[in-house]
Amino acid sequence: MSLAIPPAPGTAPQAAVEELEAAAAVVEQLFNRLDRTFSLYRPDSEASAMARRELALMDASAEMRRLYVEATEWRTLTEGAFTAERPDGVVDLAGIVKAHAIREAGTSLLALGLKDWCLNAGGDVLVDGSPTPGSTRPWLAGIVDPEDRTTLLTAFPLGSKGKHALATSGTSERGHHIWSAGLPAARDEGFRQVSVAAADITTADILATAIMAGGARTLALATSRWDVDVLAVKNDGGLLATPGFRNLAGQNS
C-alpha cells in the first residue's frame, strides 16, 4: 500500500511530512484491521475460521455479513461472473475486500480534510483532487504490460471525466480468487489481464475480476451497464479497449 499526498502551496516541508505520516498511519491501521478479519492467509481470522467450517456466516461479524451481502448483489449484477464462493463452497471475499479497504481508506482521508491524494493498494488506485493542488491536472495511473512487468501499456488519467478509480486484475497477480464459474465465454475468449477505470473503486475492482472470469461476454455486459473504461489483454496478446483507453494511444505515443 502506498499513499501520495502533494503538499498544498505554502505548506512547510515538515508540516507536509507530518500530514502524510499521520494519514498513512490511519490507512495502515484500517488495512491491518480488515486483514485480521478477512485474510485467508491468517489462521486466526474470521475468514479462516469460516473456511474450516468452525464459524457459520450467520455467526460472523456484522462487517463480514455486510460484505458478503454486497458480494452477492454483485454476483446478480454481473450475471454470475463475480462470486464470493470458491468452487469448493468456501466463502472467499478476496475479490471485494481490497476494494472495500481502499473505499474505507478514502472515506477516512476525506474525513481528515485531505483533498488531494492518491492511494495505491496492490495496483488498484483511488484518487481525489490533483497531484498539483488547486489545478485540474489528473493523476496518471500506469497499467503494466503482462508480458513485461517492467514496462507500461499506458497510463490512465484519474480524477477527470468522473473516473477516480482504476483496478487491474490478472492471472499473474490475482488469479487466486478468479474462477470462471462455468461460463462458456471464460473458456472461449479469455483474458490475461483486465483494467477497469470507474467512478468508484468497488465498481472498478469487481468488474475487473468479473471480466477476467467471464470473458468477452462479461466485458460487453459491463460496458453496456456501467460508465466504465476497460483495457483487456487477450490470451493471444491482442488488446480490447473502450474509447477512453483508445483515445490515449495518440497521447502516449
CB half-sphere exposure, 215, CA atoms < 13 A? 13
Res 27: pLDDT:
94
Res 70: pLDDT:
97
Identify whether the C-beta of residue 177 lies closer than 8 Å to the C-beta of residue 92. yes
Placement of cell 491536472 in the chain? 137
Res 253: pLDDT:
42
Query: What CA–CA distance (Å, rounded) separates 129 from 115?
Result: 6
3-state SS class at 167: strand
253 residues of the chain, pLDDT tens digit each: 899 999 878 787 788 888 899 999 999 999 999 999 999 999 999 999 999 999 999 999 999 999 999 999 999 999 999 998 888 888 889 889 999 999 999 999 999 999 999 999 988 999 999 999 989 999 999 999 999 989 999 999 999 778 999 999 986 554 445 655 555 544 456 899 999 999 999 999 999 999 999 999 999 999 999 999 999 999 999 999 999 998 875 454 4
Query: What CA–CA distance (Å, rounded) separates 206 from 215?
Result: 14
Q: Among candidates 207, 208, 206, 215, which has minimal Cα distance to 235?
A: 215
Res 191: pLDDT:
94
Distance of CA 7 to the CA centre of its chain: 26
Res 129: pLDDT:
95
Looking at the DSSP bridge assignments, the partners of residue 229 are 197
pTM (two decimals): 0.90
Res 56: pLDDT:
94
Res 81: pLDDT:
95
Res 175: pLDDT:
45
